[in-house]
Amino acid sequence: MSVSGSESGRGRVGLFVTCLADLFRPSVAWASVQLLEQAGFEVAVPDRQTCCGQPAYNAGDLPTARRVARGILDAFEPFDYVVAPSGSCAGMLRLHLGRLFVSEQETAARAEHLARRTHELTEFLVDVASWTGVAAEFPHRVTYHDSCSSLREMAVRDQPRALMAQVQGLELVELGDRDVCCGFGGTFCVKYPDISTKMVSDKTAAIAATGAETVLAGDLGCLLNIAGRLAREGRPVACRHVAEVLAGTTGTDPIVPVGP
Amino acid sequence: MMDGAAAARFPEASARALGDENLQAALRLLGEGFQARRTDAVERFAGFEDARDAAVAAKTRTLRNLDRHLETFEARCREHGGVVHWAETPADARQIVLELLTDRGVRALSKGKTMVAEEIGLNGFLEANGIEVIETDLGEYIIQLAEEAPSHIIVPAIHKTMPQVADLFRQHHDQAKAGSFPRRTPADLVAEARAVLRRRFLEADAGLTGANFLVAETGSSVIVTNEGNGDLTQTLPQLHIVLATIEKVVPTLADGAAILRVLARSATGQDMSAYTTVSTGPRRPSDVDGPAEYHVVLLDNGRSRLLGTPAEEVLRCIRCGACMNHCPVYGAVGGHAYGWVYPGPIGAALTPALLGVGAARHLPNASSLCGRCEEVCPMRIPLPKIFRYWREQEHAARLNSERMRLGLALWGWFAARPRLYRLATGVAMRVLSRLAGRSRRFRSLVLASGWTRSRDLPAPAGRTFLNSWKRRS
Ligand code: SF4
């Protein structure tokens, strides 16, 4: 296990990178590390982590989900907090892992212990760390997409907005349909692509209606879906994870570069 | 009755629905209509969350001792001169209703809105046996003319646009009087239907209604409507038949009132529906009107089997329709795509119990698990959790596709072996990143065609985070 160099003593955070950030967009994880360190925590990234197991769990494949979940329980045992830059994965760890082990008392207790320590990134920064030290600038009109798991499983709604309000120059315009799903839904989007397409098209139309230059969100799954549809429709709107903006690491390209 | 096989054709049916202009126009009204009205109703009523808790508690208590409450209901109903019939299967229920009608020489039956009649395919069965069915609910009447099934549990004809309804009336209503029907506004159409239907109410020798709930302590059945058609259906004819499923019973009138406090608000955004009608037994000597006979047909059809399973919470459903009004999947494809009686989230949770997981397997899968249904469900039914339960049953019974199972197993094998996973994903992401070139996206990718048919796939960065992190430290 590798631990980042940080002077602080507010506690040790194990970063749950999430498989999508790991594979598709490492900048989200770097930004998360930076924010957690700025907030005064020591950040570790256990290298035995892979995925939260949702693809199997939501497909009804409990044996596979269990196999993956055991790895998570081992990897994140030693931390004061477990933080994920995703409401969806944090929701899996907090609300669903325990369900997998109802017939294994000891493992269920470990899952319960993990659930109590697990947080979504913005929720952790605001509610647990009471951190108000955002030092970033983003002089753009943005809109924010709430992922369904953030909103409904993790009660994350005001926290990212409180943090965005500290970003210099950022102007937030809310979506007209802000409590409606973007149509990602994990494997749903490839199992029922026509319905998913209709849903994401409604979402990109709502995004366009805000006049925002950039869409931010706290979940990479939604962002890949929305960015992919915006690009296909040729709409010049950039997509980024909110952590990148909060950390001021927006030098990288947005999820799909905007323009020809 | 729609047959269960149609539920298995959900993907094809939903593709058709997405291309149906009329349907899409009709569905667009859900947002401004039902969703906005429910939001307003909830905001107007400060006690809504408490009322939800009370309704949930009432129904939970009921289900814990369902058999006892049903027995009480039967006893009280009998004391008031009513008759209770028990039906285990749809065929049993159809036969009981048919015999009640034929024994009394009934030729025409007026019918209020009931989803249970759809569930047992009653209309077709009675008509095949020479009994005319007169639908008295406007929406049911419209789809009866169109020879279609309901596409929504409280607004059966929601998929029809106004011009389509006007066309139906033009085809079916007395041409001699056509001139007197302007058919320009929705109000014109309602007035026309009312004029035609009123006359036919009087022709019926028997009336059949559903029940929003049954009250054990009084032996009564209760229905709520906005058109008042239920009253006429059950008071005018000599015979009143109530068709209900066993989970509709509640112990007391107070429990029923707890349900009423959340029902209309969740359904149509009204504080109360226009008419709430309580029926207790047949007409007594002192009554001014009412039927000479009062029968209640209680159908199980698989519900008692759900008790004690993780899906039992669907039995709390009060059929308000809020879940479908707020469901983005229902909003995209409408009710017919679901292929059976109950569409939307409640259909996805209930249909596998009634038709079997095999026939209904698409319904609980066709959800992004966004949870909006659970959020608005007045009875706090954890619908996404129940979808997952059915998915688990499907997987355990090997009813899902072999490709899906293999994919998951392979992915799981790697995901449980971090070192190998790191190696494999490291190579894969580097290759993908190179392939994407400068555009940083894929416009088409064979292995992800479901995705790339309608959206670009953003390219991965190249080096994975965990591989980079290892080098940093
Ligand atoms: S599941 Fe809930 S929201 Fe849907 S119809 Fe039943 S009570 Fe209403």
pLDDT digits (tens, 9 = 90+) for A91-107: 999 999 999 999 999 99
Q: What pLDDT does B287 receive?
A: 83
Interface contact A253-B440, CB threshold 8 A: yes
* Cα torsion angle, B55, B39, B312, B93, sign: positive
Name the residue with the closest Cα to ligand 1, atom 4: B323
* Cα torsion angle, B382, B387, B393, B395, sign: negative
Please report where in the chains the tokens 């706090």 appear, as a residue.
B380
Q: What pLDDT does B179 receive?
A: 62
Interface contact A198-B366, CB threshold 8 A: no
Chain segment B3-43, per-residue pLDDT in tens: 678 889 999 999 999 999 999 999 988 877 899 999 999 99
Ligand 1 environment, Cβ below 6 A: B 266, 317-323, 345-346, 377-379, 381
Chain A residues close to B415, C-beta within 8 Å: 19, 50-51, 53, 67-68, 71
Distance CA A67, CA A56 (A): 10
Any idea which fold B1-135+205-343 has? Answer: Rossmann fold (3.40.50)
Q: Best substitution site from B377, B383, B386, B387 to test ligand 1's pocket, by max atoms within 8 Å of Cβ?
A: B377
Report chain B's mean pLDDT, rounded to a whole number.
92
Of A55-64, A231-240, B287-296, the one with minimum mean pLDDT is B287-296
Q: What pLDDT does A6 receive?
A: 45
A160 or B448, greater pLDDT: A160
Mutate to test the interface with A, among B375, B420, B463, B465 (most CBs of A within 10 A): B465
Interface contact A71-B451, CB threshold 8 A: no
A108 CB burial (10 A radius; 0-12, 13-18, 19+): middle
Q: How confident is the model at residue B275 (pLDDT cuts 50, 70, 90)?
A: confident
For the A133-247 domain, the top CATH level (class) is alpha beta
B47 or B470, greater pLDDT: B47
Residues 6+ apart with CB under 8 A from B57: B258
Atom of ligand 1 nearest to the CA of B319: 5
Chain B contact for A184 (CB, 8 A cutoff): yes
pLDDT > 50? residue A226:
yes
CA B378–ligand 1 middle distance (angstroms): 7
Joined together, the tokens standing for residue B12 give 């094809």
Q: Which of B392, B429, B455 sits opposite A62 (nearest CB)?
A: B392
Q: How confident is the model at residue B196 (pLDDT cuts 50, 70, 90)?
A: confident
Interface contact A227-B391, CB threshold 8 A: no
Domain locations along chain B: 1-135+205-343, 418-472
Q: How confident is the model at residue B1 (pLDDT cuts 50, 70, 90)?
A: very low
Atom of ligand 1 nearest to the CA of B153: 5
Q: What pLDDT does B117 receive?
A: 97
Chain segment A165-185, per-residue pLDDT in tens: 999 999 999 999 999 999 999
Average pLDDT for residues B302-319, to the nearest whole number?
Answer: 96
Q: How confident is the model at residue B44 (pLDDT cuts 50, 70, 90)?
A: very high
Chain B: give the shortest CA distance to residue A129, in Å.
24
Distance CA A229, CA B355 (A): 36
Chain segment A100-142, per-residue pLDDT in tens: 999 999 999 999 999 999 999 999 999 999 999 999 999 999 9
Helices (H), A98-182: 105-117, 121-123, 148, 158-164
Distance CA A48, CA B58 (A): 48
Is the complex ipTM higher than 0.90? yes
Q: How confident is the model at residue B174 (pLDDT cuts 50, 70, 90)?
A: confident
Chain B: give the shortest CA distance to residue A137, in Å.
24
Chain segment A20-52, per-residue pLDDT in tens: 999 999 999 999 999 999 999 999 999 999 999
Interface contact B451-A189, CB threshold 8 A: yes
Q: How confident is the model at residue B379 (pLDDT cuts 50, 70, 90)?
A: very high
Q: What pLDDT does A147 receive?
A: 98
Q: How confident is the model at residue B473 (pLDDT cuts 50, 70, 90)?
A: low
Q: What pLDDT does B394 receive?
A: 97
Percent of chain A residues topping a pLDDT of 90: 93
Interface contact A198-B332, CB threshold 8 A: yes
Residues 6+ apart with CB under 8 A from A28: A18, A21, A85, A220, A241, A243, A244
Q: Best substitution site from B319, B324, B329, B341 to test ligand 1's pocket, by max atoms within 8 Å of Cβ?
A: B319
Percent of chain B residues topping a pLDDT of 90: 77
pTM across the whole model: 0.95
Instruction: Read off the amino acid at residue A27.
Output: S
pLDDT > 50? residue A1:
no
Contact criterion met (CB below 8 Å) for B18 and B332: yes
Residues 6+ apart with CB under 8 A from B33: none
Q: How confident is the model at residue A259 (pLDDT cuts 50, 70, 90)?
A: low
Q: How confident is the model at residue B201 (pLDDT cuts 50, 70, 90)?
A: confident
Name the residue with the closest Cα to ligand 1, atom 8: B320
Contact criterion met (CB below 8 Å) for B366 and A174: no
Chain segment B211-260, per-residue pLDDT in tens: 999 999 999 999 998 877 666 677 778 899 999 999 999 999 999 999 99
DSSP code of residue B134: E
Phi-psi region of B219 (alpha: psi -120 to 50; beta: other; left: phi over 0): left
Joined together, the tokens standing for residue A82 give 């477990």
pLDDT > 80? residue B112:
yes
Of the candidates A232, A234, A239, the one whose C-alpha atom is nearest the C-alpha of residue A214 is A239
Residues of chain A with CATH 3.40.50.11810: 133-247
Q: What pLDDT does B176 receive?
A: 60
Any idea which fold A2-127 has? Answer: Rossmann fold (3.40.50)
pLDDT > 60? residue A3:
no
Distance CA B189, CA B3 (A): 31
